Amino acid sequence: MPLAPVPIPRRFEGRSVVVTGAGTGFGAEIAVRAAQEGARSVGVHYRSSVEGAKRTAGRVAAEGSTPVLLQADIVAWDQIKAMAEAAFERLGGVDVLVNNVGDVAREQMSWRDITEESIDHILAVDIKGTMLCVHEFGARMLEAGHGAIVNIGSTVIVRGSARAPQYAAAKYGLLGVTKSYAHAFAPTVRVNVFAPGFIETPMTDVLPDKVKEELKTRIPLGRMGSPRDVAAAIVFLASDEAGYITGHVLNVNGGMHLA
């Protein structure tokens, strides 16, 4: 007999949240979950997917929160500075930042296909971009006297990636960014990493059924995670319930990598 749906708590009541890359995928679900948990305003960041960002904003508004669109290329420091300033002004301060933007080099099928261009791009987006966001938003949170930051990692930090070593290198680097700023910002601003395993997304939807079934046999909980699983865990890590957690990696992978 399936379990009844778990009621959504209100852990962000009255708070403001910014989610990078919120026009599509995980980012959109995180932004909507923040609204469902009572956030008074949600910053919906996008680089080029303005239509996706508008759709997310509509969903956020439907949950009773005020959406604020924020556009920036996260690898450009001047744009991140401007976005942070705009976010703090337009949202009336920022209590939570979720750094969701990242690239997985999904077009690369083997380590043999790696290119210098791909290495530069992945490291720029996944390390430099996230670090800039942590730096600029975190500095302003320090001035405000509070805040929580969650960086999106991957279980690739446990298993590595024979397919795309540059992606694994970037996510390992993100651990250094997180731990460094967790020390630098303590005790005022918490900084953590959320590391998801295989999650149901448009990217996994295109996998052959045989591949998806084989993946499930490697997951002790017997299924891939859902966007709801991702959003709920991230919101927990950014909430007061995780108030004694900083510099930590929360692996959410159904037990696939027990480490």
Looking at the annotation, which residues are catalytic? 167
CB 235 within 8 A of CB 11: yes
SS (H, E, C) 131-150: HHHHHHHHHHHHHHCCEEEE
